[in-house]
Amino acid sequence: MPDPMREVVEPFLAAADGAAGGPYAAVLYGSLARGDYLPGRSDINLLVVLPAIWPRLLDDFGPALRRWRGHGFPPPLLFTGEEWARAQDVYQLELADMRASYRVLRGEDPVAGLRLQPALLRRALERELRGKVLRLRQAYATAGAEPEILGATATASASTVLVMLRGVLALHGLPIPTTTSGLLEAAGRHAGVDGVAIGAVAAHRPDRRWACSAAEFAAYLAAVTAVADHVDRFDPGEPR
């Protein structure tokens, strides 16, 4: 199995060491930091915080970023220190995911001490979940009799749904388990999430040929809809 750290992250950082022009911070977060990375399904998530960003620096970063994207992953997040300090209000989902599990690969920790803002996190979660529900409904309506398409659609969405569940636990001010089973159990206990329906889809993420029945897809859709409704009703002022 290819090693994404050795083949993707470390070559990028080696190039960034020369291009950054000084000390910078790099933080790995998401599935690779948690240890549940799935080849072909998971992204590689990297935050890079630089002293300054100017066109010449971006030119220098270009070859490393093109190699990164050549592996099929969205590029790292590039911020200046001041931008990152001021961007928390619009990057609440990313921050919640980072706080769940992250590794500092370069420089000082740019995540420690940052606080989630429950009202903003709730809004970001609902927007993402409502969009996910709409796309799942469209898929069910147009491909309900095609199990392979339903399976591909469901499994492609599952990683994002799990990220949203981590956000829900963060919204409640709760610790976030690092395993999928622990996450689903905690989300079910504290937010009424149907962990069985979501877990059944998540378990098939490595299988690109999974044929999902209409009943399985409908149960998954209902579970994701219930998560969106829970977030919609959540009062950020509640004690957590």
Residues 6 or more apart whose Cβ sits within 8 Å of residue 40: 206, 208
Q: How confident is the model at residue 232 (pLDDT cuts 50, 70, 90)?
A: very high
Q: What is the pLDDT of residues 46-77, one digit of tens each?
A: 999 999 999 999 999 999 999 999 999 999 99
| 240, pLDDT greater than 60 | no
Higher pLDDT, 211 or 1: 211
The domain spans of the chain are 4-106, 118-233
Q: What is the pLDDT of residues 10-19, one digit of tens each?
A: 999 999 999 9
Q: How confident is the model at residue 1 (pLDDT cuts 50, 70, 90)?
A: low
What tokens appear for 24 in the block? 């910078």
**What is the average pLDDT across 201-218?**
94
| 24, pLDDT greater than 80 | yes
CATH number of 4-106: 3.40.50.970, 3.30.360.10, 3.30.460.10, 3.90.420.10? 3.30.460.10
Cα–Cα distance measured from residue 91 to residue 173, given in angstroms and rounded to the nearest whole number: 17
**What is the average pLDDT across 96-117?**
93
DSSP secondary structure letters along 52-99: ---HHHHHHHHHHHHHHHHTT-PPPEEEEHHHHHH-TTT-HHHHHHHH
pLDDT at res. 208: 86
| 213, pLDDT greater than 80 | yes
Q: Are strands 102-106 and 77-80 parallel, antiparallel or unpaired?
A: unpaired
